Chains A and B, each alone.
Chain A
């Protein structure tokens, strides 16, 4: 957890940490990208941290939006006086099976 245990003397490791989000999002300017990639090539630990950080974001982004529970939806439409403007939820369920199985 200290810099020594980290196994690399670069002051970079710590500095680098502050820029990881931008790097993972591909929003870092090229010079800094190159710097990070150079460091990753030399420092296995940072490499792993970045890979797993990227994977973490990827996994969360791949999570589908669970459909709104029918009762919640019904009460919302009622409250907004919109029942007449939208397709009834049971009609949707028969026409539209996009929601993945197993979602709550």
Chain B
């Protein structure tokens, strides 16, 4: 797989973890608590809920380490527990938010792109101002939960398509469909935003 993302943490030793090595477990916690908290926070939009998910994830992981067979990476397994917990809590908080058949493959293909602006040429410092970063962050919140969680796992947390499919218990094809929809939708949001910046730059 092409690992382009910031995977700075070496995989912890499964053997050590399963033999109850607390130090190794603390390394696992240190390595993945920040990304898992971010994931939960983006899914749930609430710090207290995100913290609960974070704690539950590691408690469950610790309890079930013995059953983990090592067919996927430990990190993928952690993301799986965390997404599960977060989506379950989201369902409890907003039963209306997640519809089961939301992503049944439609035959008419994807939403046609609407915003057409060549904002790629904007200088990097214009693309990544504090305000722009906030906008990028909030744009994710416009995604429906099913699209959002796929996008978060793949493009924010850096899982491969296969790992995201494992984490969410869905097919790779479903990951790809949702990912594309999420990306296209975010492209619209960003194009809208940066087209305005582009106008400002040109006017100067």
> What residues of chain A have their CB less than 8 Å away from a CB belonging to chain B?
1-2, 6, 14-15, 17-18, 20-22, 24-27, 45, 48-49, 51-53, 55-57, 59-68, 72-73, 75-77, 79-80, 82, 85-86, 102
Contact = CB atoms under 8 A, between A and B. Distances in A.
Contact of A14 (B47, B54, B112, B120): B112
Interface stretch (B72-80, B89-97, B175-183): B175-183
Interface residues of B, number: 51
Q: Main secondary structure on chain A at its contact with chain B?
A: helix
Contacts of B25: 80, 82, 85
Nearest to B25: A82
Contact of B29 (A22, A67, A80): A80
B176 A61 contact: no
B127 A59 contact: yes
A79 to B, nearest CB: 5
Contact of B186 (A56, A72, A73, A75): A56
B114 interface: yes
A38 B177 CA distance: 24
Given A25-B161, A65-B35, A80-B29, 20 more contacts: A14-B109, A14-B110, A21-B176, A21-B180, A26-B2, A52-B118, A52-B190, A53-B187, A55-B119, A57-B155, A64-B6, A65-B34, A72-B47, A76-B54, A76-B55, A77-B29, A80-B58, A82-B22, A85-B25, A86-B29
A40 B36 CA distance: 38
